[in-house]
Structure 1
Amino acid sequence: MPPRLTQIRLTLLRLTARLTRATGGPPSAAELARAAALTEATISFHLKALTELGLIERTGARGRLILTDQARYAIQDGIPIYGQIAAGAPILAEQTPDHVTPSLDQLLGVKDGDFLLQVRGDSMTGIGVMDGDYVLVRPTPEVLDGEVAVVLIPGENAATLKRVYLFGEEVILISENPDHPRRNYPATDVQVQGRMVARLGLAGPRPLTRRA
């Protein structure tokens, strides 16, 4: 008789997802057994069934447990991804998800130390960063020319989000909105706090961006 996705196996999938998030990596069968308060023999029986169902994959010397996209969709752990959408010529929208992203952290490539800031103002609308959006920032004291970064403004008790360019002993901060002039400061007075690596914004009416 082929294995079925029983309630206890569904619970084990959810517990595996929770342990993965809590520890930052896939758990072993022994770790899952302890968390579920079951014997390793019982866990082994259910893991064999879940593997045959294509819901669990084993990896590494200790056979760590990785949920497949099918498993994540089954337990609704993550956001369903329904294929692709055209921004040019229309294409047919898929009706069933291709796979499921495990988490927004993984989708955005979040690393230890990254943090979010909420944007206030319209100086970066040219790259789609609108008032009220969130930007994901990766801490670093230095950025490459032209990268968008969070910098502390000299003489002001605030940070700003701008493109950063270094010319000799001078730093130039450039907005992505022609209504906001560039700012020039001595390089020794500007402190880079981090580089913008992603933007999170809600859909809705947004103003057209004017370019010079």
Structure 2
Amino acid sequence: MPPDLTRTRTAILSSVLRLGPVATVSSVAEAIGHSKQAVSQQVVILRSLGYLEPAELRYGPLIPTDRARLAVGEGLAIYGQIAAGAPILAEQSPDDFTPNLETLLGLRPGDFLLHVKGESMTGIGVLDGDYVVIRPASQVHDGEVAVVLLPGENSATLKRIYWFGNEVTLLSENPLMPRMTFPTDQVQVQGRMVGRVGVGVPRVSWARD
């Protein structure tokens, strides 16, 4: 921990990172059990040290800098680049930390996760048990991977979508799965896939003889 981060300053930064957009002097003071005056004084110091962004509004949100995230150790450790080479040494220090998964995945307000069941999209690396990041949308571009509500069913499916005149074709990314075709007015697009979190079955590639 950097020497300029006292226990109180560390607690403030940890609270700011945990609270996110709703982090203010008041909410942080309540979270860590200090007075607003005491937190406000420390916030001024943390801004001067580069751990918090400069204030745009007097009572605006507290915004942590990358230096704060690295100092507090918030997020997942990044150990540089690797080209399928030598393993990372146990004593090696991380180069950086991700701010959080939302930032890493480029999420926007309204985006959500869906838990994937099945193997119809394995061709693009979406495996059974993974999570996909969906951005709500009623229209998507031809060829995008979308969440589509199927006609006559109370369920949605993840497929690559194409329009052909008055018909919509839904394609899997698995040659064993048949394509599906429906009238355009019977298919409802609910969003587009913008990311994937691979937490499903173990990734097993082909084996050598």
Q: 2:141 aligns with which of 141, 144, 156?
A: 144
For 1:205, the equivalent position in structure 2 comes to: 203
Q: Structure 1: how far apart are the matches of 2:94 and 2:154?
A: 47
Please state how far the C-alpha of 1:44 moved relative to its aligned partner: 4.5
For 1:163, the equivalent position in structure 2 comes to: 160
Q: Is 2:21 aligned against 1:7?
A: no
Q: Which moved more, 1:124-133 or 1:100-109?
A: 100-109
Q: Deviations over 1:151-201 (max 9, x none)?
A: 122233321111000111110111111111211111111111111111111
Preserved CA contact (<8 Å) 1:164 1:173: yes
Q: Structure 2: how far apart are the matches of 1:192 and 1:117?
A: 15
Q: Structure 1: how far apart are the matches of 2:131 and 2:109?
A: 18
Identity fraction in percent:
51
CA-based RMSD of the aligned residues comes to: 2.7
Q: Segments of 4+ in structure 1 off by > 6 A?
A: none
Corresponding residue SS for 1:163: strand
The residue type paired with residue 149 of structure 1 is: A
Preserved CA contact (<8 Å) 2:131 2:199: no
| Matches for 1:54-203 after TM superposition, within 5 Å | 54-62=50-58, 64-86=61-83, 90=85, 95-202=92-199
Structure 1 alignment gaps of length 5 or more: none
Preserved CA contact (<8 Å) 2:142 2:161: yes
TM-score, structure 2 length as denominator? 0.80
Q: Structure 2: how far apart are the matches of 1:188 and 1:64?
A: 45
Please state how far the C-alpha of 1:111 moved relative to its aligned partner: 2.1
The residue type paired with residue 109 of structure 1 is: G
Q: Structure 2: how far apart are the matches of 1:120 and 1:202?
A: 12
Corresponding residue SS for 2:53: strand
Please state how far the C-alpha of 1:51 moved relative to its aligned partner: 3.8
Mark the CA change 1:39 to 1:130 in structure 2 (over 3 Å): closer, same or farther: closer
Please state how far the C-alpha of 1:126 moved relative to its aligned partner: 0.6
The residue type paired with residue 74 of structure 2 is: D
Corresponding residue SS for 1:12: helix
The residue type paired with residue 206 of structure 1 is: V
Mark the CA change 1:141 to 1:64 in structure 2 (over 3 Å): closer, same or farther: closer
Please state how far the C-alpha of 1:68 moved relative to its aligned partner: 2.6
Q: Structure 2: how far apart are the matches of 1:130 and 1:92?
A: 26
Mark the CA change 1:59 to 1:96 in structure 2 (over 3 Å): closer, same or farther: farther
Preserved CA contact (<8 Å) 1:125 1:177: yes
Q: Which moved more, 1:8-17 or 1:61-70?
A: 61-70
Q: Structure 1: how far apart are the matches of 2:19 and 2:127?
A: 36
Please state how far the C-alpha of 1:140 moved relative to its aligned partner: 1.0
Q: Which moved more, 1:152-161 or 1:69-78?
A: 69-78
Q: Deviations over 1:4-60 (max 9, x none)?
A: 322111111112223325x2xx53x566456554243x3354234434544333242
Mark the CA change 1:70 to 1:97 in structure 2 (over 3 Å): closer, same or farther: farther
Please state how far the C-alpha of 1:112 moved relative to its aligned partner: 2.3
Q: Structure 1: how far apart are the matches of 2:18 and 2:203?
A: 36
